[in-house]
Amino acid sequence: MITVERLVAAGIAPAPAAAFAAPLEGACRRFGITSRQRLAAFVAQAAHESNGFERLEEDLRYTSAARVCKVFRGRVKTLAQAGPLLRNPRALANVVYSNRLGNGDVASDDGWRYRGRGLFQLTGRANYMAAEDAIGRPYKASPELVAEPVDAALTAAWFWAAGGMNDLADRGRFDDITRRVNGAAMLGSKERQDLFIRALGAFS
């Protein structure tokens, strides 16, 4: 069972623990994230991705053109291209997420509308629609819901189950879970492992 006390023991600050305990409990039960191994792995990954359940929307406010080119090197290739996107999250989202992930072109505003939200940064019109179909919530029309605790928890648990991560948790394949959540870069692998070990203790 997910409680405020267990989330705090897993390393989550009291305020987000209080906000997320009930939503996480409902979402995890719905998607079969119920064993100690599954819960610990899920909470650890979600905590890392969301900065301790406190960052539920992608931060697209960049102040360095070089940084924009590095982070989005496949979409923004020159400093001149990056310049107009600085301190302009909407413009940046519409450029880097246009014509992919089910989004329309830059003018469609889909990149901004369906930017990363939730515990696992659900991104792109196609993914919002898939989550809507699976969960039964109006994410296409109201994508901002994904940044609220109930829907942040639901979309993360759906993504987890749909990606076969319950099975990976059962088999102790934590690094494989990290790859499915974060991609080949495996960013923060050590920190995720540390969170997992702490969460195992919290859910013992």
How many whole angstroms separate alpha carbon 204 and alpha carbon 191? 20
How many whole angstroms separate alpha carbon 127 and alpha carbon 116? 10
pLDDT tens figures, 117-131: 999 999 999 999 999
How many whole angstroms separate alpha carbon 148 and alpha carbon 20? 10
* AA identity, residue 174: F
In the chain, where the domains are located: 4-56+148-202, 65-113
pLDDT at res. 183:
86
pLDDT at res. 198:
97
Residues in contact with 83: Cβ distance below 8 Å, sequence separation at least 6, in sequence order: 65
pLDDT tens figures, 31-71: 999 999 999 999 999 999 999 999 999 999 999 999 999 99
Phi, psi of 98 (to 5 degrees): -75, 145
Percent of the chain at pLDDT > 70 equals 100
Confidence of residue 160 (pLDDT cuts 50, 70, 90): very high
The pair of structure tokens assigned to 118 is 């939730």
Q: Quick one: how far is CA 42 from the chain centroid?
A: 11
Looking at residue 179, the DSSP 8-state letter turns out to be: H
Total residue count of the chain as it appears in this document: 204
Task: Indicate if the pLDDT at residue 171 is higher than 90.
Answer: yes
The residue to which tokens 């989202």 are assigned: 93
Which candidate, 102, 49, 107, 99, places its Cα nearest to that of 75?
99
How many whole angstroms separate alpha carbon 123 and alpha carbon 143? 10
Helix, strand, coil % over all residues of the chain, rounded to 5: 60, 0, 35
pLDDT at res. 184:
84
Average pLDDT of the chain to the nearest whole number: 97
pLDDT at res. 15:
98
pLDDT at res. 25:
98
